[in-house]
């Protein structure tokens, strides 16, 4: 709908890239501010945030390389990285693994997930503005808040059967922006209240996985198997793993006694 | 020698370079497609 946000001289600033960068910057700043509030700011945390960015970028790009391979069966690795898309789920998985790897490399044993959780939610809300303005809107709907696009935009949505000029479509990215903003508020309020360090991020991932599974039905993404998109096929085992973690924690009595309220000192080493 | 507390380890040249390398290569990986578009506009 709006591929170019503005121009700097003769260079067009892409809308998607602009909001993606803004979302990443805001998320990084919130993590660092949280680290300072918890008196854990230092070179370790900055390295961990940088690692999350690098491995998140790698995960986002590599998880969509197969789409480019479908168009060109013999691309170079460089072409696939340059021309392929980006996936936020691949980015989240890459960033999560990257944080684990960097922590292991530098010997950092504290939990960092609680610092990342609200930051990631707000960063995603900002980044999704870019998606809303540039990507396929959603599947057709008769709901009153459906969004209509012009013929030129509809022509750029080849994978959405039924999408066309004047057809109302689900504003799927607006649903996600609303969800992420709500999650940011909830996670921000809960950030010192969970009894187990690191659970805030896992709770966010589980909630997002469930939300994303259902919102995929109105995204209009390509089906891969039995009416499910690639994202949904990735989300099923991810949700089960996260759910199993919380069931195990509950069966061990980790949450018995309610929210204890974490002090910065209580978090170290877990 | 006393160990520095976790999270409070000093900045060293190696750590600064590692942060710079991770951030810069991460951004390149993420935005390399846009770089091509921008370069083609310049050309």
* Per-residue pLDDT, B5: 57
Which residue(s) pair with A225 in the sheet? A228
Partner residue opposite B29 with nearest CB, options A44, A51, A61: A61
- A186's enclosing H/E stretch is helix A172-190
User: What is the pLDDT of chain A when averaged over all its residues?
Assistant: 87
3-class secondary structure, A6: strand
The reply to whether residue A42 touches residue B26, judged by beta carbons under 8 angstroms, is: no
- Cα separation, A40 vs A108, in Å, equals 11
What is the chain B residue with the closest CA to A107? Answer: B6
* pLDDT band, very low/low/confident/very high, at A185 (cuts 50, 70, 90): very high
Question: Hey, which residues 1-43 in chain B have their CB within 8 Å of chain A?
Answer: 6-12, 15, 18-19, 22-23, 25-27, 29-34, 36-38, 41-42
Please check whether residue A6 is in contact with residue A97, taking contact to mean a CB–CB distance below 8 angstroms: no
So what's the pLDDT on residue A245? 96
Q: What is the mean pLDDT of residues A131-135?
A: 89
Render pLDDT for A41-77 as a digit per residue (tens, 0 to 9). Answer: 999 999 999 999 999 999 998 887 766 666 666 666 6
Q: Compare all CA atoms of chain B with the CA of A61 and give the residue at the minimum distance.
A: B30
The Cα A111–Cα A206 span in angstroms is 18
Name all contacts of B38-42 with Cβ < 8 Å and 24+ positions apart.
B38/A11, B38/A12, B41/A10, B41/A11, B41/A12, B42/A10, B42/A11
Q: Best mutation site among B26, B28, B35, B41 for testing chain A: the one with the most A CBs within 10 Å?
A: B26
Predicted TM-score (pTM) of this structure: 0.86
Q: What is the pLDDT of residue A264?
A: 43
How is residue A259 written in tokens?
A: 């929210």
Q: Which of B6, B30, B41 shows the shortest C-beta gap to A57? A: B30
Percent of chain A with pLDDT over 70: 85
Q: Where is mean pLDDT largest: A84-98, A200-214, A226-240?
A: A200-214
């Amino acid at each position: 709908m709006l591929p170019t946000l503005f121009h700097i001289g003769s260079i067009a600033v892409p809308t998607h890239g602009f909001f993606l960068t803004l979302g990443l910057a805001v998320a990084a700043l919130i993590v660092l501010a949280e680290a300072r509030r918890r008196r854990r700011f230092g070179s370790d945390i900055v390295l961990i945030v940088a690692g999350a960015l690098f491995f998140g970028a790698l995960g986002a790009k590599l998880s969509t390389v197969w789409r480019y391979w479908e168009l060109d069966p013999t691309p170079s690795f460089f072409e696939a990285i340059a021309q392929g898309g980006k996936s936020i789920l691949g980015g989240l998985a890459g960033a999560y693994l990257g944080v684990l790897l960097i922590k292991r490399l530098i010997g950092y044993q504290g939990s960092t997930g609680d610092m990342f959780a609200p930051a990631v939610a707000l960063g995603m809300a900002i980044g999704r503005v870019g998606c809303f303005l540039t990507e396929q809107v959603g599947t057709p709907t008769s709901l009153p808040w459906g969004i209509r696009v012009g013929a030129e935009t509809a022509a750029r949505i080849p994978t959405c059967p039924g999408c066309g000029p004047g057809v109302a479509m689900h504003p799927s990215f607006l649903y996600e922006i609303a969800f992420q903003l709500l999650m940011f508020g909830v996670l921000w309020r809960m950030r010192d209240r969970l009894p187990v360090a690191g659970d805030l991020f896992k709770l966010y991932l589980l909630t997002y996985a469930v939300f994303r599974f259902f919102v995929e039905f109105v995204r209009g993404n390509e089906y891969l198997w039995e009416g499910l998109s690639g994202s949904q096929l990735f989300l099923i085992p991810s949700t089960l793993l996260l759910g199993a973690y919380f069931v195990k924690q509950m069966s061990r009595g980790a949450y018995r006694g309610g929210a204890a309220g974490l002090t910065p000192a209580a978090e170290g080493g877990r | 020698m006393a160990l520095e507390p976790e999270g409070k380890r000093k900045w060293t040249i190696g750590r600064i370079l590692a942060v710079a390398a991770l951030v810069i290569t991460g951004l390149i990986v993420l935005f390399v497609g846009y770089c091509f578009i921008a370069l083609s506009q310049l050309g």
